[in-house]
Structure 1
Amino acid sequence: MKSFNNNLVESVNKKKSFLIVGLDPNPEKMPIKNIFEFNKEIIDSTYDLVVGYKPQLAYYESSGFEGLQALYKTVDYIKSLPERKIIIGDCKRSDIDSTSSAYAKAMFEFWDFDAVTIVPYFGTDGIKPFVDFIDKGIFIVCKSSNKSGGEIQDFFSEKSNMTMYQNIAQISDQLNNNDNVCLVMGATYPGELKTIREKHPKLPFLIPGLGHQNGDLAEIIDNAIIENIPNILINSSRGIIYASDDPNKFAEMARIKVQEINTQTKALYSF
């Protein structure tokens, strides 16, 4: 059986794209009201162009049972389509070991995500229950794209002689025995991208921050890929799914935005 990380690289090479579309249904921005139908139109218009999708659970949970049902239907719909896509449950879960085990079971067995995002604050006890699902991917938040993340992530420890995000990357690498551990690395910090990539060349990155957060595609590719190994996924959410507020054109405009990103990518990187 091929590892999750190996399948990730194969998927990127097959689609000649790094793109993951974030499915973040905000009722205040959606051009149609039905969450599942909104997701379905986005998926149908982009499916042949992207590596996968990343639903952010907070948007579904905030809509109550209707939102959770829409999430379940969305995952089920993507898995029913003929071409396999990576579905990342953006849940950022973690806790002490027993609670993390319950979280991992929920994310991987009930929701059936191919991968999840988790926070590493509880240490290896909180991470290992996810890693033990050897056919699933675990994206550990290392250096996030938001401005205030550095208040914690950039904290320097004299004892370890590294920042917190560097320590997170080191621990993540040590836990990668099943070749299924990855990192979340924000596009808005290209210098940190380069630092972590050089020290941890085998760990795939999920890179948010392209689009509304002004992450630069050329800087991402230049700093996150070495030895010509395309082990990165680039997420874009609002810039794609809310490219238009016209109920009759939002799906078409989402496709156009994806095509634009893919065209720019191919001008910068040869698959």
Structure 2
Amino acid sequence: MKSTWDEKIFYTINYMFLGLAALSCVLPLLHIISLSLSSYQAIVSGHVTLWPQGWTIEAYKALYSGTNMVKAFSNSIVITVVGVVLSMWFTIMAAYPLAKKYFYARRFFTLAIVFTMLFGTPLIPLFLIVKSLGLLDTYGAIWMPGLISAFNMLVLRTFFMNVPEELEEAARMDGCGEWRLLTRIILPLSLPVLATLTLFYGVGYWNSFLHVLMFINDSTRMNLAVMIQQMVASQSILQELNSVRPDDLQQMTPESIKSAGVIVLIVPMLIVYPFLQKYFVKGVMIGAIKG
């Protein structure tokens, strides 16, 4: 079907707007990458824009050898992987029964969860609760407060409610129990929403900042986000590098080191996203019921 002139104009304006929005996100990223890979002379002279000048990886070498970046990176991986597994498990366990009409007091528990979205826990009571549970200086203090996102749980609950009842009835007629129904029927059909929520939780845990600052005092347990923030906000990273690699310090600028730290922080999520992106556009529910 041929598009009308009005539709063509609308599509053109839409594509222009989306293109500008994409550029506003991509151009700053390209500039940061260029700074992290450019030489000292190019950065000081102000010639670095969207393409590295005088290619060098000295900033990344300095982060690797002169800071605790490797330890912070491994801490972030532990926080993210364990946190995502726990959060997804408990989110599924909360959303599945609330999606069933025969679950007693379903409306009450749903409203109680929605209430937590309107009124969050203040920081001081949250800190006192974590301290009373003995979770200070442990990753449990990071996982526990955000174990279940009310918004994510409601999204998953809505998806479970839209699963055709005919599938469940057919499975039960074949002798499928509740647990097997969830793991063998419901969850495989829910891969798109599960992938999306996994990404949401993963980004949240990977970028954990406030809770790490509040509850973790041991510097060896700090994650990458906190280390990068401290590096960007102060010159302590340069002093540390000065004591470790004084001969190479003249080849680097604060901008290149900070940019390298930012790239190290965001690259893992950029790598993970393509593996989950296909589930965002693929409707595995299509064709689930035949006849």
TM-score, normalised on structure 1? 0.24
Determine which structure has the larger helix proportion and give its number: 2
TM-score when normalising by structure 2: 0.23
Which has more radius of gyration? 2
